Amino acid sequence: MTSGFSDDLLPQFAGMFLNRTDDYAVQRDSGRYVRVGSPLTWGIVRAHLQGEQTIGTYVMNAYGLCRFVVFDADADDGLAVLLGVQAGLANDGVSSYLEASRRGGHLWVLLDGMYRASEVRRWLLPYCPAGVEFYPKQDEGCGYGSLIRLPFGVHRRSGCWYPFLVWDEHQEQVVPVAETAAGMLQWLAISERARFPSSVQAAPVACSAPYAEQRTRQHTPIVSHSSCATVPTFPYASIRDWCQAQDPFTVIGRYVALNASGLGHCPFTEHHRHGADRHPSFRVYPPRSATGSCWYCYTSEHGGNVFDFLSRYHGLDARTLWRSIQSGDIA
Tell whether the model's pLDDT for residue 257 goes beyond 80.
yes
Q: What confidence tens digit (pLDDT) does each residue in 202-242 have?
A: 544 433 333 333 333 344 556 443 333 333 346 778 898 88
Q: Please report, for the chain, how many H helices and E strands are present, in that order.
A: 9, 14
pLDDT at 224: 44
Q: What confidence tens digit (pLDDT) does each residue in 178-193 have?
A: 988 889 999 998 889 9
Residues 143 and 55 both lie in one domain: yes
Mean of per-residue pLDDT scores for the chain: 83
> Looking at 159, 174, 189, which one is the last position of a domain?
189
Is 42 part of any domain?
yes
Residues 76 and 165 both lie in one domain: yes
Residues 49 and 117 both lie in one domain: yes
Is 94 part of any domain?
yes
Residues 223, 220: Cα–Cα separation, whole Å: 9
> Which domain CATH number covers 323?
3.90.580.10
Distance of CA 17 to the CA centre of its chain: 9
Residues in the chain, total:
331
Residues 157, 233: Cα–Cα separation, whole Å: 36
Residues 19 and 109 both lie in one domain: yes
Residues 25, 36: Cα–Cα separation, whole Å: 5
Residues 20 and 167 both lie in one domain: yes
| Number of domains the chain contains | 2
Sheet of 104-116, strand order = 133-135, 65-74, 104-116, 97-100, 164-168, 173-176
> Looking at 149, 164, 189, which one is the last position of a domain?
189
Is 308 part of any domain?
yes
- Going by C-alpha positions, the residue among 183, 213, 298, 300 that lies closest to residue 14 is 213
- Going by C-alpha positions, the residue among 265, 248, 330, 322 that lies closest to residue 38 is 330
Contact 294, 249 (CB under 8 A): no
What string of DSSP letters covers 41-99? BHHHHHHHHTTS--EEEESS-TTSEEEEEEEEEESTTHHHHHHHHHHHHHHTT---EEE
pLDDT at 209: 32
For 93, list phi and psi in degrees, rounded to 5: 80, 20
Confidence bin at 260 (pLDDT 50/70/90): confident
Q: What confidence tens digit (pLDDT) does each residue in 18-77 have?
A: 888 888 999 999 989 999 888 888 889 999 999 999 999 999 988 888 999 999 999 889
Residues 57 and 156 both lie in one domain: yes
What string of DSSP letters covers 142-192? STT--EEEPTTPPPTTT-----EEEEETTTTEEEESSSSHHHHHHHHHTSP
For 17, list phi and psi in degrees, rounded to 5: -120, 0
Residues 244 and 181 both lie in one domain: no
Confidence bin at 296 (pLDDT 50/70/90): very high
What letter would DSSP give residue 193?
P
> Looking at 189, 216, 249, which one is the last position of a domain?
189
Tell whether the model's pLDDT for residue 329 goes beyond 80.
no
What is the domain range of residue 253? 239-327
Is 102 part of any domain?
yes
Q: Which neighbouring-strand residues pair with 175?
A: 166
> Which domain CATH number covers 141?
3.90.920.20
- Going by C-alpha positions, the residue among 186, 219, 227, 176 that lies closest to residue 11 is 186
Residues 16 and 139 both lie in one domain: yes
Residues 316 and 179 both lie in one domain: no
Q: Between the CA of residue 13 and those of 8, 9, 42, 177, 286, what are the distances in Å?
A: 10, 6, 11, 16, 40
Is 305 part of any domain?
yes
Q: Residues of 121-135 as b/e, b for ≥16 C-beta within 10 angstroms? A: bebbeebbeeebebb
Residues 73 and 169 both lie in one domain: yes
Tell whether the model's pLDDT for residue 317 goes beyond 80.
yes
Is 19 part of any domain?
yes
Residues 188, 201: Cα–Cα separation, whole Å: 27
Q: Who has greater pLDDT, 239 or 270?
A: 239
pLDDT at 234: 61
Least confident of 1-5, 30-34, 125-129, 236-240: 1-5
Is 210 part of any domain?
no
Residues 82 and 156 both lie in one domain: yes
pLDDT at 143: 76
Q: What confidence tens digit (pLDDT) does each residue in 167-181 have?
A: 998 888 999 999 888
Residues 179 and 244 both lie in one domain: no
Is 259 part of any domain?
yes
Residues 64, 115: Cα–Cα separation, whole Å: 8
